Structure 1
Amino acid sequence: MINTFTLFSKFFSSSLNLYNFLIKSIRWNKNFLLGFFDSHLVHYPTPINLTYAWSFGATAGICLVIQIISGIFLAMHYTPNIDLAFSSVEYIMRDVPNGWLMRYTHANGASMFFIVVYGHVFRGLYYGSYMQPRQLLWCSGVLLFILMMATAFIGYVLPWGQMSFWGATVITKMFTAIPGIGEPLVIWLWGGYVINNATLNRFFSLHFVLPFFIAGLSIIHLALLHKEGSNNPIGVGSGIAKISFYPYFFLKDLTAFFIFMSVFIFFIFYSPNTLGHPVNYIPADPMHTPSHIVPEWYFLPFYAMLRSVPDKVGGIITMGGAIAILFTIPFFNTSEIRSTTFRPFFKICYWLLVVDFLVLVWSGEQSLNEKCVVYLMFVSQAATVYYFFFFILLVPLTGIIESKLIHYK
Structure 2
Amino acid sequence: MSFPWAKHYEPKAPFMRWIDEKLPLPRLVYNAIGGGYPVPRNLNYMWNFGVLAGFCLVLQIVTGVILAMHYAANAAVAFDSTEHIMRDVNWGWLMRYAHANGASAFFVVVYLHIFRGFFYSSYKAPREMVWLLGVVIFLLMMATGFMGYVLPWGQMSYWGAKVITGLFGAIPVVGEPIQIWLLGGYAPDNAALNRFFSLHFLLPFVIAGVIILHIWALHIPGSSNPTGVEVKSESDTLPFHPYYTAKDGFGLGVFLILYFAMVFFFPNSLGHPDNYIPANPLSTPAHIVPEWYYWPFYAILRAFTVDFFFVPAKLMGVLAMFSAILVWFFLPWLDKSPVRSGHYRPMFRKFFWVLVIDVLVLGYCGGSPAEEPFVMISQLATAYYFLHFLVILPIVSSIERPEPLPFSITEAVLGSDDKAVLGESKA
Q: Same fold (TM over 0.5)?
A: yes
Q: Report the residue type matching 2:393 in the other structure.
A: V
Q: Report the residue type matching 1:242 in the other structure.
A: T
The alignment partner of 1:193 has SS state of coil
Cα drift, residue 21 of structure 1: 11
1:184 aligns with 2:177: yes
Distance, in Å, in 1 between the alignment partners of 2:121 and 2:64 is 34
Distance, in Å, in 1 between the alignment partners of 2:82 and 2:197 is 13
The alignment partner of 1:253 has SS state of helix
Cα drift, residue 141 of structure 1: 0.1
Change (3 A) 1:22 1:263: farther
Which residue number in structure 1 is paired with residue 71 of structure 2? Answer: 78
The alignment partner of 2:229 has SS state of coil
Is 2:345–2:403's contact at 8 Å kept on the other side of the alignment? no
> Could you tell me which of 49, 53, 73 is aligned with 2:46?
53
Distance, in Å, in 2 between the alignment partners of 1:160 and 1:215 is 27
> Could you tell me which of 372, 375, 392 is aligned with 1:374?
372
- Structure 1 segments unaligned to the other structure (5+ residues): 1-19
> Could you tell me which of 381, 384, 403 is aligned with 2:382?
384
1:33 aligns with 2:25: yes
The alignment partner of 1:81 has SS state of coil
Distance, in Å, in 1 between the alignment partners of 2:10 and 2:123 is 37
Is 1:68–1:211's contact at 8 Å kept on the other side of the alignment? yes
From the two aligned structures, give the one with the greater helix fraction: 1
Pairs within 5 Å for 1:47-126? 47-126=40-119
Q: Report the residue type matching 2:135 in the other structure.
A: V
> Could you tell me which of 340, 363, 374 is aligned with 1:338?
340
Cα drift, residue 403 of structure 1: 6.1
The alignment partner of 2:75 has SS state of coil
Is 2:9–2:31's contact at 8 Å kept on the other side of the alignment? no
Distance, in Å, in 2 between the alignment partners of 1:176 and 1:307 is 16
Distance, in Å, in 2 between the alignment partners of 1:64 and 1:374 is 38
Cα drift, residue 191 of structure 1: 1.0
1:250 aligns with 2:263: no
Change (3 A) 1:404 1:277: closer
Pairs within 5 Å for 1:9-28? 23-25=11-13, 28=17
The alignment partner of 1:328 has SS state of helix
Provide Cα deviations, 1:368-401, integer angstroms capped at 9, x if missing partner: 3xxxx33212211111111111110122111110
1:265 aligns with 2:250: no
Which residue number in structure 1 is paired with residue 411 of structure 2? Answer: none
Provide Cα deviations, 1:233-256, integer angstroms capped at 9, x if missing partner: 000013361111000000000000
Is 2:48–2:251's contact at 8 Å kept on the other side of the alignment? yes
The alignment partner of 1:363 has SS state of helix
Q: Report the residue type matching 1:337 in the other structure.
A: V
> Could you tell me which of 158, 163, 167 is aligned with 1:165?
158
Cα drift, residue 28 of structure 1: 4.9
Q: Report the residue type matching 1:345 in the other structure.
A: M
Is 1:175–1:186's contact at 8 Å kept on the other side of the alignment? yes
TM-score normalized with structure 2 length: 0.87
Q: Report the residue type matching 2:394 in the other structure.
A: P
Q: Report the residue type matching 1:318 in the other structure.
A: A
> Could you tell me which of 245, 263, 270 is aligned with 1:275?
270
1:398 aligns with 2:396: yes
Q: Report the residue type matching 2:56 in the other structure.
A: C
Is 1:335–1:403's contact at 8 Å kept on the other side of the alignment? no
Is 2:344–2:402's contact at 8 Å kept on the other side of the alignment? no
The alignment partner of 2:238 has SS state of strand
The alignment partner of 1:243 has SS state of strand
- Structure 2 segments unaligned to the other structure (5+ residues): 1-7, 306-312, 405-421, 423-427
Pairs within 5 Å for 1:190-269? 190-239=183-232, 241-269=236-264
Which residue number in structure 2 is paired with residue 295 of structure 1? Answer: 290
Distance, in Å, in 1 between the alignment partners of 2:366 and 2:398 is 34
Cα drift, residue 68 of structure 1: 0.2
Provide Cα deviations, 1:172-203, integer angstroms capped at 9, x if missing partner: 01111111111111111111222211110011
Distance, in Å, in 2 between the alignment partners of 1:388 and 1:328 is 12
Change (3 A) 1:404 1:116: closer
Provide Cα deviations, 1:107-142, integer angstroms capped at 9, x if missing partner: 000000000000000001111100011111101000
Provide Cα deviations, 1:313-370, integer angstroms capped at 9, x if missing partner: 11111101101111111111110111000001100000111111111111111113xx
Q: Report the residue type matching 2:254 in the other structure.
A: I
Provide Cα deviations, 1:80-114, integer angstroms capped at 9, x if missing partner: 00000000000000000000000000000000000
Cα drift, residue 22 of structure 1: 8.6
Distance, in Å, in 1 between the alignment partners of 2:212 and 2:273 is 36
The alignment partner of 2:263 has SS state of helix
After superposition, the CA RMSD in angstroms is 1.8
The alignment partner of 1:228 has SS state of coil
Cα drift, residue 293 of structure 1: 0.2
The alignment partner of 2:107 has SS state of helix
The alignment partner of 1:46 has SS state of strand
Q: Report the residue type matching 1:391 in the other structure.
A: F
1:129 aligns with 2:161: no
Which residue number in structure 2 is paired with residue 12 of structure 1? Answer: none
Distance, in Å, in 2 between the alignment partners of 1:199 and 1:332 is 39
Distance, in Å, in 2 between the alignment partners of 1:173 and 1:76 is 30
